Amino acid sequence: MKIKLLINYYYHRFISLWWGLLIIGLIIPSILPLFRHDFFHMHDYTHVARLYEMDKAIKDGHFPMRWSKDLGWGYGMPLFNFYAPLPYYFAEIFHLLGFTFLDSIKICFGATFFIAFLGMFLLAKKLWGNLGGILSGLAFVYSPYRSVDFYVRGALGELFGISLIPLSIWAIWQLIEKRTPKKLVIATLAMACLFLSHTVLTLIVIPVMLFIATFFIIINKKRIKGCFYFITSFLLSLSLSSFFLLPAFFEKKFTQVNKLTEGFSYYGHHFLYWRQFLSGTWGYGGSVDSIPDGISFHLGKLHLLLAIITLLCSIVYFFTKKKIDKRGLTVLFFFFLGFGCAFLSTYKAKPIWDALPLMAYIQFPWRFNSFIIVFLGFLIGGSYYYLQKLNTKIAIIFLILLIGIFLKLNIRYFKPEAYIDSSLLYYTDETLIKKQMSGIIPDYIPLWVKLVPQIIPEKDYEIISGDPYVEVKESKTQKLALEISSQDKSRILLNRFYFPGWEASINNKKVSFDYQENNGIIGFNLPAGNLSLTLEFKPTKIRLISDIISLTSLLILGGIFVSRKKIS
């Protein structure tokens, strides 16, 4: 008996391994360009520079990372105080393991495809079984919009966030159904990672996730307990990510973030027409206020057809059985939720955008495609499930053919426009980052910087008057220490843009400084004598509070996981 059980165990392990290798083989064609030694042009080619700045901050002991030393034309910028950091944390792990900056970013991009499949497989498996889950997972991976986000836009954070959406929905669903501490921890971590992946996407994620959770709670029998567990998990996920979310929200008034909603980024220029969901010329240009766009936002005709087939099958099932089960309700819910997201992407929804000012920060209405492709991917697995109910053999043949057709139709989108010498754009040279990248990433320049600096600073300081002797003792991301000796009064500028958190001391005594008349550059009027001048970037009250909240939430979450005791 034991031998039979052992054989059965290893047999299932072998089958699982075989399926895993097959799925990896089916996903790899979508990311083959990553295996080349060079790279390709994309709209956002700043990722290597961002990772370089994060790596420098970590090695300088600046954690959690908020300040970038080289961006802002060499005067610094609070980049990671506002730009969602998780994809770069992920990439930094691989860089610390020995990979180059570029290869670490490539790994991060590639990982999103496997995360996307895993999350969608787990989600779709709940209704459609293993094979239906595999179909949904591959359909999601090969969604044309995912190719747009990667090979055209290069939107690493958004792609990372999109890939985590199915995993988060699955985790919430599991939690509401089973209500265990383990499920609570998984759901909390999944949602927190989603919030930390892309700042703008979070504006869409939070209301949609609340809507989805409400649906799961309603169709679940133990509604009060399900609601309690979800609310606990949701609040913990917000608390866990508060070290980023709270400062990003409350300190944005100190930046020029309003530029993110003006000009090209004004949402009114980027609404879609309904026909754009069905077709569009594939290209590598930009979004414009008309048709055709420089890129396509179509969802895939086969994706839409199979999702509609699933909807029709669930309706036929209702009229046949004369009842609506949870499966049918879930199909209807996700279909109409996807339709609602599509509506919000079109010109017809402009009055809603005009009435809700916060939506302006979403910038591009077509960002709702991020959720539409999740719902489509989920529904597609149902086409196999309902056919399997009629004839298993035909359903398996249908599944194999369908996977082949998906790859045949969509693999043409998963390639770059052209390859380039990676050193042309993806560089880690500090001077090039200061000169070239600063103009590409001006989003979070401090409010007091009125004019673009015409000179890139070669030193950490500039003497304006007097003749002091200055020696730089320490120059880090978050700290600048100088030894100054002068027989007369002098004036000196420290080449750092002011932002709340910068504090200065002379001979260990806190001193004030000026910046508003210096285009945001920190300046000092110094007395004669020997002085030790130190400038440090310290936590503000809101950052300190949010860091404490995140740390406390992490400890609570760890306690829940270790104890495994029910919380209700």
- CATH code for the domain of 503: 2.60.40
Per-residue pLDDT, 357 = 87
Measured CA to CA, the distance from residue 503 to residue 95 in angstroms comes to 32
Is 547 exposed, middle or buried, given 0-12, 13-18 or 19+ CB atoms closer than 10 A? middle
Residue 271 has pLDDT above 60, yes or no: yes
Looking at every residue in the chain, the average pLDDT score rounds to 91
Please write the tens of the pLDDT for every residue from 58-69.
999 999 999 999
| Whether 446 contacts 453, CB under 8 Å | no
Q: pLDDT tens across 143-153, in order? A: 999 999 999 99
Let me know whether 230 and 306 are in one domain.
yes
Domain contains 108: yes
Among 426, 425, 428, 419, smallest CA distance to 35 is for 419
Determine the angle formed by the axes of helices 242-250 and 223-240, rounding to 10 degrees: 70
Greatest Cα pair distance in the chain:
96
Q: Is the pLDDT of residue 448 over 60?
A: yes
Alpha-carbon distance of 509 to 534, in angstroms, equals 10
The pLDDT score that the predictor gives to residue 5 is 61
- Do 266 and 401 share a structural domain? yes
Whether 568 is covered by a domain: the verdict is no
Q: Quick check: 243 and 195 in contact, CB under 8 A?
A: no
Kindly state the percentage of the chain with pLDDT values over 90: 76
Check whether residue 407 and residue 519 sit in a common domain.
no
Euclidean distance between CA atoms 114 and 126, whole angstroms: 19
Residues 396 and 527 in one domain: no
Sequence-distant contacts of 213-219: CB under 8 A, at least 24 apart:
213/172, 213/176, 215/330, 215/333, 216/172, 216/173, 216/176, 216/177, 217/176, 219/326, 219/329, 219/330
DSSP code per residue over 409-474: HHGGGSS-S-EE-GGGTS---HHHIIIIIHHH--TT-BTT--S--SS--SSSEEEEES--EEEEEE
Residue 329: burial class (beta carbons within 10 Å; 0-12, 13-18, 19+): middle
User: How many Cβ atoms sit within 10 Å of the Cβ of residue 564?
Assistant: 10
Q: What is the mean pLDDT of residues 514-540?
A: 94
Q: What is the pLDDT of residue 222?
A: 72
In a domain, 95, yes or no: yes
The number of C-alpha atoms within 13 Å of 310 and in the hemisphere containing its C-beta is: 33
> Residues of the chain with pLDDT > 70: what percent?
96
Under 8 Å between Cβ of 63 and 85: no
**536 bridge partner residues:** 479, 503
- What is the arithmetic mean of pLDDT over 246-275? 87
pLDDT in tens, 375-385: 999 999 999 99
Residue 430 within any structural domain of the chain = no
> Is pLDDT at 302 greater than 70 in this prediction?
yes
pLDDT of residue 179: 85
433 within 8 A of 55, measured Cβ to Cβ = no
Query: Residue 155: how many CA atoms within 13 Å on its side-chain side?
Result: 21
C-beta separation of 394 from 349 below 8 A: no
Phi, psi of 294 (to 5 degrees): -75, -15
Residue 268, domain extent:
2-424
DSSP assignment of 63-132, as one string? -S---BSSTTTTT-B-GGGTS--HHHHHHHHHHHTT--HHHHHHHHHHHHHHHHHHHHHHHHHHHHHHHH
pLDDT (average), residues 276-297: 83
Query: CA triplet 205, 207, 210: central angle to 5 degrees?
Result: 100
- For residue 411, is it within any domain? yes
471 with 404, same domain: the answer is: no
End-to-end CA distance of the chain: 41
Q: What is d(CA 386, CA 384) in angstroms, rounded to the nearest whole number?
A: 6
Q: Is 156 helix (H, G, I), strand (E, B) or coil?
A: helix
Check whether residue 49 and residue 98 sit in a common domain: yes
Express each pLDDT in 313-371 by its tens digit: 998 887 787 677 888 899 999 999 999 999 999 999 999 999 998 888 888 999 999 99
Sheet (strand 461-465) strand order: 461-465, 490-497, 521-526
In a domain, 544, yes or no: no
**Looking up tokens 């929905």, which residue turns up?**
169
413 plus 468 within the same structural domain: no
Could you check whether the bond before residue 292 is cis, i.e. omega within 30 degrees of 0? yes
Taking only the tens place, the pLDDT of each residue in 83-140 is 999 999 999 999 999 999 999 999 999 999 999 999 999 999 999 999 999 999 999 9
Same domain? For 45 and 182 the reply is: yes
Examine the domain organization and report whether 401 and 525 are in the same domain: no
Model confidence at 19, pLDDT cuts 50, 70, 90, reads: confident
Confirm whether 155 is domain-assigned.
Answer: yes
E strands of 121-264, at which residues? none
Whether 7 and 138 map to the same domain: the answer is: yes
Tell me, rounded to whole angstroms, the distance of Cα 191 from its chain centroid.
Answer: 12
The pLDDT value recorded for residue 178 is: 87
Residue 75: pLDDT over 70: yes
Assess if residue 448 is contained within a domain: no
- Domains: count for the chain: 2
Residues 393, 317 within the same domain:
yes
